[in-house]
Amino acid sequence: MASAAVLVLSGCGSGDSADRSANSENGFPTTVQNCGHRVAIERRPERVVALGPSEVTSLYTAGAAGKLVGRDDAGMKSAPYTPEIRSAVSKVPQLGSGGELTRENLIAMQPDLVVGSVSESITPESLEAVGIPMLSLRGNCGSNHAPGASDGTADFEDVFSDLRLYGRLLGTERQASAAVANMRQRIEQATSTAPLRGRTAAAVIVFDSSLEAYGRRSMAHTQLTALGAKDVFGNSDSRVLEANMEEIAARNPDVIMILSYSDTAEAAKKKFLALPGASNLAAARNHSLFVQPYEYSSQGTLSVNGLEKMAGNMPRQR
């Protein structure tokens, strides 16, 4: 099956795991291996902060909805949350809504667990100094060759690994395990017909003055190959890379997936087609441009939703 290759667990000892003490109460204190760091967690987390839509949805799916006390997902209005998740997290205070989230604002929330990507001001080391453990989504460990993932490639097993870890830490193992089983079934169903078999494809994102493509370390690559496509940027050993229309034209993929941060699908497609030479691409001439929100190709549970959208809406062979 097309899904088989992406559902193989990347096997190396550098992933996320919790080392428990037999004499500890409820498995705590414990030490978690995460992105090359040993993260000490003294007690079961009860106040959790999520730094991004992917982190919000992953924690929610793992059963942590009642423990979220803060979120930094300024793009919530455009994030493709389900109505259920949107309703639940709308009650959680938004951090950094007036600007970039600072370490001080985060500490003021008094979390006992932070889940999010590393930034210049917020790192596992800086939070550890004040007794706050920080974890990153496993799929983000490989970004820009950071340590932690076995080969630096984001895949669905990373998503499942995160859910199981959060379930163990938060005491919601049953819900997390059920979510993993459900997502496995959804992935198999979405990929069973391999709708892009025999076609070449690329995933790109367009900014006002630049263009980027996604390489083999990205979830976009995993999604395209799971659907049977050959990713024309799949030999690039990176998550995202600067690109230009000449490079895309040289590869001339049959299908192009355009990821959008905040533009509507129509606006994102228009922005792409405005680039010199874009309208001459095979994908443009054959009406095989597909647009979806960036978060649908992120490292969390939204990537499964994105795969389903791609399987159902990706332009078919004419």
CB 50 within 8 A of CB 68: yes
Question: What's at 107, amino acid-wise?
Answer: I
What pLDDT is stored for residue 145 in this prediction? 38
What's the first-to-final CA gap in the chain, in angstroms? 24
| Tokens describing residue 178 | 């059920």
* CA contacts within 13 A on the Cβ side of 58: 33
User: Order of strands, edge to edge, in the sheet holding 68-71?
Assistant: 68-71, 48-51, 113-116, 134-135
Per-residue pLDDT of the chain in tens (318 residues, 90 and over written 9)? 344 344 333 333 334 555 544 445 688 999 999 988 899 999 999 999 999 999 999 999 999 999 999 999 876 666 888 899 989 888 899 887 656 788 998 999 999 999 998 888 899 999 999 999 999 999 888 554 344 444 557 899 999 999 999 999 999 999 999 999 999 999 999 999 999 999 999 999 998 878 999 999 999 999 999 999 999 999 998 899 999 999 999 999 999 999 998 888 999 999 999 999 999 999 999 999 999 999 999 989 999 999 999 999 887 665
SS3 185: helix
DSSP codes of every residue in 221-257: HHHHHHTTPEETTTTSSSSEEEE-HHHHHHH--SEEE
What pLDDT is stored for residue 25 in this prediction? 63
d(CA 44, CA 29): 8
Which domains are present in the chain? Answer: 5-190 (3.40.50.1980), 200-313 (3.40.50.1980)
CB 70 within 8 A of CB 55: no
